[in-house]
Amino acid sequence: MAECPDLGLDAMNTVVEHLSNLICIPSPSSISNQPIIDYALQVLNDAQWTSRELTYNDAAGVEKVNLIAAPPNQSLDNVPIDLAFLCHTDTVPYTGWPMALEPFISEGMLHGCGACDVKGFLACLLTAITENSLSNYIDGVRLILTADEEIGCVGAAHLISSGLVRAKRVVVGEPTSLHPARAGKGYCLAEITVFGEEAHSAHPQKGKSAIFRAARLITAIEKYSLALAEEQNPLFSPNFTTLNIGTIQGGTAKNIVPGQCKFQLEWRPIPGQSADVIPVAVLKIIDTLQSVDPSFRCDLKIIRQQTGFESAAKSQLVRSVEALTGRPATSIPFGSEASILASVAEEVIVFGPGDMRTAHSSRECVPLTELDEAVCCLRTLMTKR
């Protein structure tokens, strides 16, 4: 039985208003997130929170902002933090989605880009803050807003390196249908370039085919991937580290022995498994191929290496959100900032209204009842001693 009753009509109107306003502000990762930060700052300032903006320039030179805020009468300089609520401020791009920035309500759902990923959670946080009396907060509460989650948790990584977010407990906002998600797989990506030697295809013996070489390497990686099923974590389905080769490019013309072939290798490690396991195995395979063909040459470039996370089933945060929502803990099949936060926090959960299966699409929406429940749950966590 959930401990959170329905909110009054005022709070419901507030969360719908915040979410609708946030959806109207364009915020794909390619542009500055300052307008979303400014919107949140307005609410925080009105509620007498203090905040600090931490800026950085992204790879394209666009200025991005992370923000840390503390309730009235709490110092931002005090770390470790007891309980942080973390929310990213960017969305995926929405070209070809005509109503993306025009929120509307239909059959109990609020629709629009970011409705569940993850402006819904942000609207709930801002409402919980608006609805709270000033002196009610537990010590060490923080609101943390990040940039560039959708392009590889770049903002969160900047934030960690600032040293300002060592925390006991962190709630990372992502749509989990209000289940506390206490575990998630990691996300890793590498680019592998196999080199050959070009030649006229009428004389293939004069060259070395990069595509034939890549095929041998890929076949060996596929065979290796079957062994990954041996190490299991029952919280996931599939319950082991998965691996995928999602793209491949090679060669320049049908009558040229190809000189280069490049492919992307993605893997999602179960919590507790080092993100190095796959690259180490692939390098071993490459060694074996080189022992047969000494001129075999290949580069492995790591693009992302994010481990999984897992908080104990009996941890305080998991237990309290289970009690507040009446929903059992679960795991998430998608990547999130929780993996990064787990390196500086004792307990991390992912939590938020809506279902990720509608996100990143024109079907994106969030149930109004879940917004209502989430506000109550967040407000209770911020204030319950």
Q: Which stretch binds Zn ion (CB under 5 A): 93-101, 111-119, 284-292, 315-323?
A: 111-119
Which CB, 117 or 347, lies closer to Zn ion? 117
Which one of the listed residues 58, 90, 148, 364 is annotated catalytic? 90
Confirm whether 230 is a catalytic residue: no
Strand partners, 300: 192
Going through 210-351 in order, the beta strands assigned E by DSSP cover 242-250, 256-257, 260-268, 297-306, 309-310, 330-332, 345-351
Q: Where are the alpha helices (DSSP H) in 295-367?
A: 316-325, 338-341
Q: Does 117 bind Zn ion (CB under 5 A)?
A: yes
Q: Which of 149, 150, 174, 198 is catalytic?
A: 149
Q: Are strands 365-367 and 109-111 parallel, antiparallel or unpaired?
A: antiparallel
Q: Does 337 bind Zn ion (CB under 5 A)?
A: no
Nearest to 307 by CA among 341, 272, 332, 281: 272
By the rule CB under 5 A, 40 interacts with Zn ion: no
State in angstroms the smallest separation of the CB of 118 from Zn ion: 4
Through-space distance between the first and last CA atoms of the chain, rounded to whole angstroms: 21
Token pair belonging to 212 = 């034939």
Strands 242-250 and 260-268: antiparallel
State the nearest-atom distance from the C-beta of 334 to Zn ion, in Å.
8
Beta carbon of residue 61, minimum distance to Zn ion (angstroms, whole number): 24
Active site residue 150: no
Contact pick of 19, 118, 145, 298 for Zn ion (by CB under 5 A)? 118
Instruction: State the Rg of the chain over Cα.
Output: 24
Nearer to Zn ion, 100 or 228 (CB): 100
247 within 8 A of 264, measured Cβ to Cβ: yes
Closest CA to 105 of 22, 175, 173, 17: 17
Cβ-proximal residues to 181 (8 Å cutoff; 6+ apart), any chain: 174, 329, 330, 331, 332, 338, 349, 350, 351
From the list 1-9, 41-49, 79-87, 113-121, the region that binds Zn ion by CB under 5 A is: 113-121
Q: What type of residue is 206?
A: K
Least distance CB 282 / Zn ion (angstroms): 29
Q: How far is the CB of 126 from Zn ion (least distance, A)?
A: 17
Per-residue interface string for the shown chain with Zn ion, residues 161-190, x marking contact by CB under 5 A: -------------x----------------
Of 120 and 269, CB closest to Zn ion? 120
Helix 119-130 vs helix 9-24: crossing angle, to nearest 10: 140
| Residue number with CB closer to Zn ion (119 or 262) | 119
- The window from 117-125, 181-189, 193-201, 223-231 that contacts Zn ion (CB under 5 A) reads 117-125
Cα separation, 261 vs 139, in Å, equals 56
Kindly tell me which of 44 and 332 has the beta carbon lying closer to Zn ion: 332
Total residues binding Zn ion (CB under 5 A): 3
Closer residue to Zn ion (CB): 317 or 359:
359
Q: Minimal distance in Å, beta carbon 368 to Zn ion?
A: 20
**Site residues, Zn ion (CB under 5 A):** 117-118, 174
Catalytic residue numbers read 90, 149
